């Protein structure tokens, strides 16, 4: 009886170990940069891993969730027991506030990718130089022609960002207090009167729950002033909206839906200009609850993408049809399709592709 029990315990222990062991064991899969200065230049972190498998492993691709993150990685084959790295560099310039970015790591060992994450808070404590205000709107000067809110979670609270402004005119610039914006965006200026050569800020408050859409969003706001050159100033407000999951327990995460893509990158090859090509990418729900695809977006008007169905029961799959219309411009084109879902671990995943246009 004791021998039988011991044998059963050994089998169960081995099974649990096999389930827990990872091919590439990272020292950490999430890194927090903490507070970093906007004008301090790019910051870098290396995710170090060990090859725990019994065969060589090669990193095929590392895809960053935005252009502000530049990845690098071990290009050589990593032998069993040896170490390698995935490097992430984040450029905070022009990106004040909180950031949370992902790296999708694909290997030749298995189709399921490894997800790494960097996050932090970009501060703007340093006083801006006058030369930083390069965008003109009448006598008002700004650092950018638009207000970028970055990531906004779909929850009933306002995300607040401040954007520095300057009066480049020879007279005081007065904001009349009239602001035109959607109901989910609030606009304030401080101070209400900026003296000639003085600086102030525009405060944008954005409510993701009231907007209630997913992915990249663009809206318009107007600021009314007494500027003789251009009294009504119009600006775009950008935001990328994602689901809010709150603090989920390990048990809740284990029972949650999981989105898995069959392909994270592909090549359409050589195309003639104005030709249209199509690729089907399979999505599978490997989780325990129904998966909802919230939004599918291409990063240019040359892309159309849609799913055959947007609700997947556990174990079910669907295809996303990606159509690319080759532009007139010749050369290599790199594009991406972003898929938003209610997978709490990886709610935002990307498929990148390349094509060469003759």
pLDDT at 344 > cutoff 50: yes
- The CA distance from 261 to 281, in Å, is 7
Calculate the CA dihedral of residues 15, 19, 25, 30 and round it to 10 degrees.
-150
pLDDT band at 96 (very low <50, low <70, confident <90, very high): confident
pLDDT band at 323 (very low <50, low <70, confident <90, very high): very high
pLDDT digits (tens, 9 = 90+) for 257-275: 999 999 888 999 999 988 9
- The CA distance from 255 to 96, in Å, is 35
pLDDT band at 120 (very low <50, low <70, confident <90, very high): confident
- pLDDT for 20 equals 39
pLDDT band at 93 (very low <50, low <70, confident <90, very high): confident
pTM value surpassing 0.95: no
- The CA distance from 281 to 324, in Å, is 13
Highest mean pLDDT among 57-61, 234-238, 349-353: 234-238
321 φ, ψ to 5°?
A: -90, 115
1-10, 108-117, 317-326, 348-357, range with the lowest pLDDT = 1-10
- pLDDT for 53 equals 86
Decide: 95 and 68 in contact? Cβ < 8 Å.
yes
pLDDT digits (tens, 9 = 90+) for 169-218: 999 999 999 999 999 999 999 999 999 999 999 999 999 999 999 988 99
- CA nearest 191: which of 207, 175, 206? 175
Cis peptide upstream of residue 2 (ω within 30 degrees of 0): no
- pLDDT for 258 equals 94
pLDDT at 5 > cutoff 80: no
Average pLDDT for 143-156: 91
| Structural domains in the chain, sorted by start | 20-123 (2.60.40.10), 130-243 (2.60.40.10), 250-357 (2.60.40.10)
- The CA distance from 324 to 358, in Å, is 15
Dihedral sign computed on CA atoms, order 254, 258, 262, 268? negative
pLDDT at 126 > cutoff 60: no
- pLDDT for 38 equals 84
Beta strand 158-167 with 199-207 is: antiparallel
């Amino acid at each position: 009886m004791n021998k039988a029990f011991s044998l059963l315990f050994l089998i169960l222990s081995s099974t649990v170990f096999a389930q827990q062991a990872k091919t590439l064991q990272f020292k950490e899969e999430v890194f927090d940069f903490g507070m970093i200065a906007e004008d301090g230049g790019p910051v870098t972190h290396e995710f170090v891993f060990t090859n725990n498998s019994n065969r060589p492993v090669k990193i095929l691709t590392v895809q960053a969730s935005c252009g502000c993150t530049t990845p690098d990685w071990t290009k050589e084959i990593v032998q069993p027991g040896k170490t390698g790295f995935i490097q992430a560099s984040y450029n905070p310039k022009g990106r004040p506030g909180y950031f949370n970015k992902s790296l999708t790591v694909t290997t030749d060992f298995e189709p399921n990718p490894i997800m790494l994450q960097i996050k932090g808070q970009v501060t703007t404590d340093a006083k801006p130089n006058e030369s930083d205000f390069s965008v003109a709107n009448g006598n008002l000067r700004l650092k950018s022609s638009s207000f970028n809110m970055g990531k906004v979670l779909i929850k009933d609270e306002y995300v607040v960002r401040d954007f520095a402004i300057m009066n480049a005119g020879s007279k005081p610039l007065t904001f009349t207090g009239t602001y035109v914006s959607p109901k989910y965006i609030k606009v304030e200026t401080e101070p209400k009167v900026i003296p000639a050569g003085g600086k102030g800020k525009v405060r944008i408050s954005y409510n993701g729950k009231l907007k209630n859409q997913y992915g990249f969003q663009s809206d318009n706001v107007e600021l009314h002033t007494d500027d003789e050159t251009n009294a009504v100033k119009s600006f775009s407000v950008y935001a990328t909206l994602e689901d809010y999951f709150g603090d989920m327990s390990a048990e809740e995460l284990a029972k949650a839906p999981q989105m898995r893509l069959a392909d994270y990158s592909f090549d359409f090859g050589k195309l003639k200009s104005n030709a249209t090509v199509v690729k089907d990418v399979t999505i599978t729900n490997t989780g325990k609850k129904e998966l909802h695809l919230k939004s599918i977006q291409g990063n240019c008007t040359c892309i159309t993408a849609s799913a055959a169905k947007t609700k997947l029961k556990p174990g079910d799959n669907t295809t996303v049809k990606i159509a690319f219309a080759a532009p007139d411009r010749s050369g290599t084109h790199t594009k991406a399709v972003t898929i938003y879902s209610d997978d709490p671990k990886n709610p935002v995943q990307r498929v990148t592709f390349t094509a060469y246009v003759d």
